[in-house]
């Protein structure tokens, strides 16, 4: 009742003329629609979290929740005194404090409670916290940032499926229907001409899944789907860490410190299939967690999830190979172990048939469209137009991790804990969780090796680390190992780990407030030597060029080579520290 009254007060207050909002529609919508919605979502989320708390914890938690309304008051005051001169980013920075404040408050409350919660209940609580934060961010991003790079091309296929009931996108590109999500004329068609028809080269999994939400709410509905995928991924990552026998608090901290920062949080505002691919990957790993004890039903589900990966992304094929081999092992291992005469037909069929049917189905669709019976036919047909493999992993590998513009570590230094936790994760593989760790490693490392070898590993035009999402599940598990090691270490080590987590959260917040600084182009970096939008902004704000501490693998020079060596040595040292700590705790 108090929340309803407070939200009603905010809604009435924002409609008053004294607010003096700008004529800019973003500012008007932010105050009069999104702010009340954000406060309502936070109230619902806090009510759900409070159910997991004991009475003495619950009362204080609910009282502190009302501090979020200070953000509403601050937003109205800035709008009043700033008037027409106030910028969207200034208002957005205050508005998004609702999401950040709610998430931090909820996670702090769950920290002492998670030990007494069932794993599924804790995973749902974490997913709820993540979903509220993502949904609060969603309308702001949609309003201030149009679709970019490949996003409109995925949505065009969705429009064609919804309105034309076909995959021929020629009329979609030649018309103006895509004006609903792209503000200008698209410069080119991402497709292959077959007669008079044009069929998109984009993978079909995301457009097919996006049809219902697009029909309901356009691009906003598709972004809501991505938020749901992000929340579900957070839940599955938590459960994966519990499968790997990490303590509940470590699992909560590792999941929260990765799912609510870049790149996972960032990609809930993007129309790309990588989040869905990571979700299918992690779910398949969890399904076969019992290894050779997996049932026929579990093998069939894992096989179906592996078969769905090529529908979502052609770049998921390395993950398919690695994960598929582990599923095959789980299906056949009992037969090998017991030296039985007959092949276990039921287990073999469960592990192979769903995958085969999905791949054959994709091949059939490509045969009916492109005239080529194979999966990923669109990319096969344009192979002469664009160089893909360069076989230079010594550039792409460090680039994915350390590049100052496109690398993962500069934007989410919390992933440095993955190197500290590598030995702790390996120890779990030896202590009865070998199948899950092997599945994670096989799928993630093959994906990483493939991306490191392609010419455009940076995936520019989209936010950084898009292609690194294929390796995120293994990294998150290793981050949990890092937190496990750090919590048993000295206070200064914990302080450094918390510093990395806070720095990651700050970058995620900056990216959320100013999404336009996430879109760097490799050609511009090569020409100018720029440190990219993020570090340029931070240098202006703080006077410190943090980007200078990282190499440029897009524009390689002697200094960058030296910095790669330095960062490689640092990471090797972190692995050794983690190994010694893990060995000491085991003894």
Domain assignment present for 216: no
Question: Is residue 398 within 8 Å of residue 332, measured between CB atoms?
Answer: no
* Contacts of 578 by beta carbon, 8 Å cutoff, 6+ apart: 419, 420, 421, 422, 423, 424, 481, 482, 485
Which residues in the chain come in under a pLDDT of 50? none
pLDDT value of position 15: 59
Do 233 and 119 lie in one domain? The reply is no
Please give the backbone phi and psi of residue 169, each rounded to the nearest 5 degrees, phi first: -105, 10
* 361 three-state secondary structure: helix
Question: Which pTM does this prediction carry?
Answer: 0.95
pLDDT value of position 284: 97
The token pair that represents 447 in the structure block: 């994906």
Do 9 and 139 lie in one domain? The reply is yes
Do 127 and 68 lie in one domain? The reply is yes
pLDDT value of position 91: 84
Q: What is the pLDDT of residues 183-204, one digit of tens each?
A: 888 888 888 999 889 999 999 9
Do 346 and 267 lie in one domain? The reply is yes
Which range marks the domain in which residue 244 is found? 228-586
Do 47 and 21 lie in one domain? The reply is yes
pLDDT value of position 462: 92
177-to-171, 222, 292 alpha-carbon distances in Å:
9, 16, 51
Last residue of a domain, one of 122, 144, 166: 144
Do 85 and 157 lie in one domain? The reply is no
Domain assignment present for 218: no
Domain assignment present for 223: no
192-to-170, 175, 187, 334, 383 alpha-carbon distances in Å:
10, 18, 15, 46, 12
Q: Is 130 exposed, middle or buried (0-12, 13-18, 19+ CB in 10 A)?
A: buried
Q: How many residues does the chain have?
A: 587
Domain assignment present for 422: yes
Do 196 and 282 lie in one domain? The reply is no
Do 189 and 292 lie in one domain? The reply is no
pLDDT value of position 291: 86
Domain assignment present for 418: yes
Give the chain's domain count. Answer: 3
* Contacts of 527 by beta carbon, 8 Å cutoff, 6+ apart: none
The token pair that represents 101 in the structure block: 């404040």
Cα 473 to Cα 255: distance, rounded to the nearest angstrom: 10
Cα 62 to Cα 64: distance, rounded to the nearest angstrom: 5
Cα 466 to Cα 456: distance, rounded to the nearest angstrom: 11
Domain assignment present for 337: yes
Domain assignment present for 214: no
pLDDT value of position 83: 60
pLDDT value of position 28: 74
């Amino acid at each position: 009742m108090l929340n309803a009254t407070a939200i009603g007060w905010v809604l009435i207050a924002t409609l008053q003329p004294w607010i003096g909002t700008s004529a800019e529609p973003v500012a008007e919508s932010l105050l009069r629609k999104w702010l009340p919605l954000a406060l309502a979502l936070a109230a619902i989320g806090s009510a759900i979290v409070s159910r997991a708390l004991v009475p003495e914890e619950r009362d204080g938690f609910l009282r502190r929740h009302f501090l979020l309304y200070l953000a509403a008051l601050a937003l109205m005051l800035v709008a009043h005194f700033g008037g027409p001169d106030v910028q969207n980013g200034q208002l957005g920075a205050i508005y998004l404090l609702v999401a950040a404040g709610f998430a931090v408050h909820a996670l702090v409350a769950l920290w002492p409670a998670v030990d007494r919660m069932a794993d599924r209940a804790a995973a749902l609580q974490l997913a709820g916290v993540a979903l509220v934060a993502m949904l609060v961010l969603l309308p702001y991003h949609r309003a201030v940032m149009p679709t970019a790079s490949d996003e409109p091309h995925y949505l065009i296929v969705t429009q064609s499926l919804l309105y034309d009931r076909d995959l021929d996108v020629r009329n979609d590109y030649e018309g103006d229907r895509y004006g609903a999500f792209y503000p200008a004329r698209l410069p080119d068609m991402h497709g292959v001409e077959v007669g008079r028809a044009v069929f998109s080269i984009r993978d079909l999994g995301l457009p097919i899944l996006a049809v219902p939400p697009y029909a309901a709410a356009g691009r906003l509905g598709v972004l809501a789907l991505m938020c749901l995928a992000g929340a579900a991924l957070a839940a599955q990552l938590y459960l994966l860490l519990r499968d790997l026998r990490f303590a509940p608090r470590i699992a909560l901290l590792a999941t929260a410190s990765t799912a609510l920062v870049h790149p996972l949080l960032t990609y809930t505002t993007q129309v790309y299939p990588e989040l869905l691919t990571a979700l299918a990957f992690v779910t398949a790993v969890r399904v076969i967690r019992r290894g050779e004890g997996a049932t026929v039903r579990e093998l069939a589900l894992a096989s179906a999830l592996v078969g769905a990966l090529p529908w979502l992304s052609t770049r998921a094929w390395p993950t398919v190979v690695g994960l598929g081999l582990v599923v095959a092992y789980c299906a056949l291992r009992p037969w090998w172990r017991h030296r039985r005469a007959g092949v276990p037909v039921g287990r073999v069929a469960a592990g192979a048939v769903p995958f085969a049917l999905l791949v054959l189905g994709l091949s059939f669709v490509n045969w009916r469209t492109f005239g080529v019976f194979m999966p990923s036919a669109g990319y096969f047909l344009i192979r002469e137009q664009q160089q893909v493999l360069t076989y230079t992993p010594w550039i792409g590998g460090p680039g994915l991790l350390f590049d100052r513009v496109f690398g993962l570590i500069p934007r989410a230094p919390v992933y440095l804990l993955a190197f500290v936790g590598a030995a702790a994760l390996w120890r779990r593989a030896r202590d009865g969780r070998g199948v899950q760790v092997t599945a994670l490693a096989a799928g993630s490392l093959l994906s990483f090796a493939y991306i490191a070898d392609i010419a455009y590993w940076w995936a520019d035009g989209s936010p950084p680390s898009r292609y690194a999402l294929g390796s995120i599940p293994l990294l998150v598990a290793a981050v949990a190992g890092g937190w496990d090691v750090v919590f048993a270490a000295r206070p200064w080590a914990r302080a450094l780990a918390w510093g990395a987590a806070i720095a990651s959260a700050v970058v995620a917040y900056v990216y959320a407030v100013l999404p336009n600084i996430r879109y760097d182009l490799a050609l511009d970096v090569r020409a100018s030597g720029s440190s990219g939008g993020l570090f340029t902004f931070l240098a202006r704000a703080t006077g410190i060029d943090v980007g200078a501490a990282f190499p440029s693998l897009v524009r390689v020079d002697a200094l960058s080579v030296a910095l790669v060596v330095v960062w490689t040595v640092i990471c090797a040292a972190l692995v050794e520290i983690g190994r010694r700590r893990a060995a000491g705790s085991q003894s």
